Amino acid sequence: MIPSALTIAGSDSGGAAGLQADLRTFLTCGVHGLVAVTAVTVQNTLGVHDRADLPPHIVAGQIEAVAADMGVGAAKTGMLASAEIIHAVAAACDKAGIGRDEEIPFVVDPVAASMHGHPLFDEAGLHALRDELLPRATVLTPNLDEVRLLTGMTVTDREGMHTAAVVLHRMGPRYVLVKSGHLQADPECVDLLFDGSTFVELPGKRYSTPHTHGAGDTMASALTAGLAKGMSVVEAARYGKWFVSHAVEHAYPMGAKVGPVSAFWRLAPEER
């Protein structure tokens, strides 16, 4: 059996982030990708220009349909668009046995704003994310902007990451993975995993590239793929870090501004 993983996320018309990044990561990690689309965005490297959210019952129906028929090895969230969609996702995941206390691991990537700074849901959505999804998360994977939105803390160094991980863990997830990509003054890129008692550092090289669109989605989806393949959370977090580090290393320019991280490094060379 090929392992499967589900992404519950929005569509990026530029193909760099969102469910497109998740699906190509799943593919290159050897996992069949399942999808519950939450929203369709109109975006490119210049920003998010418009979007349409799907009805909450359609989002929930997608989760329930694939879980009932095809099976889900692990699931992750991306852009969830509204409080109403979050309510529907929480209920559908409970029904499908997806969550921190369920059989199917649940990775919550708390995507609250685009990389261009455009908010992706309102205050009600942020409260629903905190109250309904964080306590259901097997792993929570915020970047430092998302740490600030969830906790009010501005993290500027590794010590602050430790403090933020403790605060976020108290909100209910089994594990917290704080990503350090935004600590530009740090010569390394050391992410931090915390289970409530033990910190695990995930070191990595900091690459000098402006092309990082989709990096957060890629790491969370590689971690999810690892869980779907039967890895422990610590093993899957290391796997996700390994995957995204290579993806950033091989990122490429496209469009007028920030290009995407690459999954092409995982492809076999063509025979000639």
Q: What pLDDT shows up at residue 271?
A: 81
Residues 115, 187: Cα–Cα separation, whole Å: 22
How many structural domains compose the chain? 1
Q: What pLDDT shows up at residue 181?
A: 86
Q: Which residues form the domain of 24?
A: 4-264
Name the stretches of the chain with pLDDT < 70: 113-119
pTM over 0.85: yes
In a domain, residue 146? The reply is: yes
Q: What pLDDT shows up at residue 272?
A: 78
**Phi, psi angle pair for 236, to nearest 5°:** -65, -35
Q: What pLDDT shows up at residue 33?
A: 98
In a domain, residue 269? The reply is: no
In a domain, residue 40? The reply is: yes
Residues 102, 19: Cα–Cα separation, whole Å: 24
Contacts of 219 (CB under 8 A, 6+ apart): 141, 179, 240, 241, 243, 244
**Phi, psi angle pair for 153, to nearest 5°:** -90, 135
Q: What pLDDT shows up at residue 104?
A: 98
Q: What amino acid is encoded at 16 in this protein?
A: A
Q: What pLDDT shows up at residue 3?
A: 98
Q: Where are the beta strands (DSSP E) in the chain?
A: 4-12, 32-44, 47-53, 74-77, 106-108, 139-140, 175-178, 191-194, 199-202
In a domain, residue 270? The reply is: no
In a domain, residue 204? The reply is: yes
In a domain, residue 271? The reply is: no
CATH number at residue 127: 3.40.1190.20
In a domain, residue 174? The reply is: yes
Q: What pLDDT shows up at residue 31?
A: 98
Q: What pLDDT shows up at residue 15?
A: 96
In a domain, residue 217? The reply is: yes
